[in-house]
Homo-oligomer: A and B are copies of this chain.
Amino acid sequence: MKKSRAETAQTRQRILEVAVQAFKSKGITATGVAEIMAGAGLSHGGFYRHFETKEQLVAKACAASMATFVQSFEAAAAGGHESFLKHLQDFLSTAHRDEMLGGCALVAIGSELVRADAETRRAATQGFEDLVDVIAKWMPQKDSSSAKDEALFTLSAMIGAVTMARMIDDPALSARTLDVARERLAPQPSRPQKKRARSTRG
């Protein structure tokens, strides 16, 4: 039952997409190869016609997921400062918190990536750095060096906030965690102010 080259490429792509969603929703270790193949409508044995090991799939899935995520950021950034700011706010929204499948892999499997193999960490780091570069373009800092620093802080803080918001079992505290991050990292420039925004409460 050999398939055409086009079909083979499609199948590989399908496995990759299912893997990305499975890893992000269930975690890397807790997701099995057979489970992914079943999700792609295939039996488990054919997996090794497309990937050498599960580890390699993890690396490719991480790279694919990050590439998609970076693209969405670049598209938003290309739409101007307002569009970019909206994208930062969406990252820190309850919608992103509650949506594991389409969300950021660095949030969904962050602590698992720490223990992943070299190729996977490389892909994750590359994606992280790409995001930093996109964010840096819209930072108010004059020189690019301190703009990148600010972007580096912004991104790592956002990832921490969404991760904790997902973990926290108290809905009010979870929402507040996102709110305070949004106020500080992606403030609405409704009233002109150069400095970091302060809390709008109390």
- Which positions in A face B, CB cutoff 8 Å? 26-27, 29-30, 106-115, 118, 121-122, 124-125, 128-129, 143, 145-146, 149-150, 152-153, 155-161, 163-170, 173, 176-177, 180-181, 183-184, 195-196, 198-199, 201-202
Contacts and interface: CB of A to CB of B under 8 A. Distances in A.
Contacts of A30: 29, 115
Contact of A180 (B110, B153, B169, B184): B153
Given A143-B202, A146-B202, A201-B146, A156 B169 contact: no
B167 A181 contact: no
A33 to B, nearest CB: 15
Contact of A121 (B155, B156, B167): B167
